[in-house]
Amino acid sequence: MSLRIGIREGVRTITRNASLFIMSLLVTSISLFLLSLFAFVTVNLYHFLNILDEKIEIIAFLEQNADYEALESNIMKINGVRDVIYVSSAQALKDLQAELKETEEVLRVFESNPLPASLRIKLLAKFRNARGLEEISDKVMLLRGIRETIYGGELVDQLKKITGVITTFDIALLLIIIFSVVFVIFQTIKLTIFARATEIDIMRLVGASNTFIAIPFTFEGITQGIMGGFIAFVLTVITKRVAVSFLSDIYFPQGYFFLGSILCGIIFGIIGSSLALRRFLK
Amino acid sequence: MITFDNVTKVYQKDWVALQDISFFIEKGEFVFINGKTGAGKSTLLKMIYKDEEPTKGTIKVLDQNLRLLKKKNIPKLRRKIGVIFQDFKLLQDRTLEENVAFALEVTNTQPRDLRKQMLEILTYLRLSHKKFSFPYQLSGGEQQKVAIARALVRDPYILLADEPTGNLDEKSSQEIIDVLLDINYKGTTVLMATHNLKLIRKVKKRMLRIEDGKLASDE
């Protein structure tokens, strides 16, 4: 009963104060769009860093006629190794040819294939640093049939440091943006609630419970959040389409962005309206 | 029905609105609260429906010590008290009928009871023929009657009127006073705050006079 009346009151206030609602919706949409845009940049940044991280590996060159299958299974037993991929001498040449398409003649200098067979050793995430690489590389070197190993070493640690700084900066910025978005949404909702101070006053006066008074405003906050979230999502999709024409490798998990925008809208709408209502419901 | 025992209200910056106020109002009484603007009349009324807390002292309303009344039970207290104001506090975007129904709906009254109660009160105040009018289509006196209808529709034990005739001409003021007297005659305790001594003298009811936040007389 009270929920039905509360929602009816919510719909009524939205339709009777349409211009105020639209203004408030606009501010909410833009705020959520900013947040979504930041999330979009962040997701792509992490995606890129992840790709870089995945590329950290040890390449172990094999001696001629080494038993690569035995080596493969021995290396797999080393703590920190996730995967071992065998690259035959012929495959290595093929890869190189693909990479040096335009300077293919260079390879013709050699009469036979000069490239040795190798094992590409992929590591677990926590071993992808200078120490982990060195430790595993040393263990691999002890195995019979390994001629040499190469890995990034200090370069990897540099990369990790840069990643760390970017991540910290990103989280700080995210917090600032979330705070600003909640603040802006809260201020806007407060304006719309202030416009209906008499209504709240009367409800309190005639003995409506605080929960009842909050229903129409929370309903309005949620409606605004859902609509604002949806508009923000559409704007982000448009931005993504524009970005794709400049950058080829764009990561955009559409489903998550849709859900995220709507959920953020709902949560901020609820938080905003309850914060704004608090001063009326003493 | 209403007891004030050494009630003091101090606002911020040590501004004393009321000081050591004590009185007792019996069930069915009609009492004027008189004093100049800013004397503390509104504060006194607000403390009765717990919109303001006393800084010191005890207030009992309908056998309840308001200091001990839990926050969640305040709405229940307010449902037993009707309040009207000088500025009517009507919702301008709703008809007369909707304004009155609003008070019932927000307190979860069943639709069938709602119609019955509303019809009764509108007939009593001779407003039924205007039930589809908006507040701005009504005279000041009529708007105050709508506010009274809204306050009375839940059949309260106490009716608090804060300068209800402040915005009205003499004829409309008299009409409102007559309505309040009739309501009181039917058993509702009425407390009316007003600065208008002429009006009080005409009615001849008990008067609590407040001067500079203190109870100056009770006659």
- Locate the domains of chain B by residue range: 1-80+157-219, 90-155
Distance separating the N- and C-terminal Cα atoms of chain A: 24
**Does B110 have pLDDT greater than 80?**
no
Computed over every residue of chain A, the mean pLDDT equals 84
Six-digit token string for A5 = 């009346």
Taking an 8 Å cut-off on Cβ atoms, the answer to whether A198 and B89 are in contact is: yes
Option in A201, A206, A210 nearest B107 (CB): A206
Instruction: Supply the pLDDT for residue A104.
Output: 63
pLDDT (tens digit per residue) in A117-128: 888 898 888 888
Q: Output the pTM of the full model.
A: 0.70
**Does B26 have pLDDT greater than 60?**
yes
pLDDT (tens digit per residue) in A92-101: 888 877 777 7
Q: In Å, how far are A64, A134, A138 from A75, measured between CA atoms?
A: 18, 14, 11
Instruction: Supply the pLDDT for residue A102.
Output: 65
| DSSP assignment letter at B86 | T
**Does B127 have pLDDT greater than 60?**
yes
| DSSP assignment letter at A79 | T
pLDDT (tens digit per residue) in B147-200: 989 988 888 899 999 988 888 888 888 888 888 899 999 899 999 999 888 888
Option in A1, A5, A202 nearest B89 (CB): A202
- Locate the domains of chain A by residue range: 2-51+159-278, 57-151
Option in B51, B93, B103 nearest A206 (CB): B103
pLDDT tier, A106 (very low <50, low <70, confident <90, very high otherwise): low
Option in B72, B78, B93 nearest A206 (CB): B78
Instruction: Supply the pLDDT for residue B193.
Output: 93
pLDDT (tens digit per residue) in A179-226: 888 888 888 888 878 888 888 888 888 888 888 888 888 888 899 899
Q: How far apart are CA B219 and CA B212, in angstroms?
A: 18
Taking an 8 Å cut-off on Cβ atoms, the answer to whether A199 and B91 are in contact is: yes
Q: What's the order of all strands across the beta sheet hosting A81-87?
A: A81-87, A118-123, A57-62, A146-150
Could you write out the DSSP letters of every residue in B40-85? SHHHHHHHHTTSS--SEEEEEETTEEGGG--GGGHHHHHTTEEEEE
Taking an 8 Å cut-off on Cβ atoms, the answer to whether B89 and A16 are in contact is: no
Option in A16, A204, A207 nearest B76 (CB): A207
Q: How far apart are CA A4 and CA A215, in angstroms?
A: 9
Instruction: Supply the pLDDT for residue B46.
Output: 93
pLDDT (tens digit per residue) in A127-168: 888 888 888 888 888 888 888 888 876 777 788 788 888 888
pLDDT tier, A115 (very low <50, low <70, confident <90, very high otherwise): confident
Looking at the complex, report in whole angstroms how far the Cα of residue A205 sits from the nearest Cα belonging to chain B: 6
Taking an 8 Å cut-off on Cβ atoms, the answer to whether A198 and B91 are in contact is: yes
Contacts of B78 (CB under 8 A, 6+ apart): A204, A205, A206, A207, B49, B50
Interface check for B105 against chain A (CB to CB < 8 A): the answer is yes
**Does B19 have pLDDT greater than 60?**
yes
pLDDT tier, A105 (very low <50, low <70, confident <90, very high otherwise): low
| More confident call, A231 vs B199 | A231
- Mutation pick from A206, A212, A215, A279 vs chain B, by most beta carbons of B within 10 Å, is A206
Contacts with B, A 1-20, CB within 8 Å: 1-2, 5, 16
What's the mean pLDDT in B67-88? 90
Instruction: Supply the pLDDT for residue A41.
Output: 87
Nearest CA-CA partner of B127 in B102, B93, B157, B150: B150
pLDDT (tens digit per residue) in A43-83: 888 888 888 888 888 888 888 887 888 888 888 888 888 88
Instruction: Supply the pLDDT for residue A44.
Output: 87
**Does A6 have pLDDT greater than 80?**
no
What percent of chain B has a predicted confidence (pLDDT) above 90? Answer: 37
All residues of chain B having their beta carbon less than 8 Å from the beta carbon of residue A201 are 89
All residues of chain B having their beta carbon less than 8 Å from the beta carbon of residue A205 are 49, 78, 83, 89
Which chain A residue is nearest to residue B150, measuring alpha carbons? Answer: A206
What percent of chain A has a predicted confidence (pLDDT) above 70? Answer: 94
Six-digit token string for A245 = 């024409």
pLDDT tier, A266 (very low <50, low <70, confident <90, very high otherwise): very high
Domain B1-80+157-219 CATH assignment equals 3.90.180.10 = no
Q: Which CATH architecture has domain A57-151?
A: 2-Layer Sandwich (3.30)
Nearest CA-CA partner of A199 in B150, B29, B42, B1: B150
Looking at the complex, report in whole angstroms how far the Cα of residue B176 sits from the nearest Cα belonging to chain A: 20
Interface check for A195 against chain B (CB to CB < 8 A): the answer is no
Taking an 8 Å cut-off on Cβ atoms, the answer to whether A202 and B108 are in contact is: no
Instruction: Evaluate whether ipTM surpasses 0.85.
Output: no
Contact indicator for B49, B81 with CB cutoff of 8 Å? yes
Option in B51, B93, B106 nearest A206 (CB): B106
Instruction: Supply the pLDDT for residue B96.
Output: 92
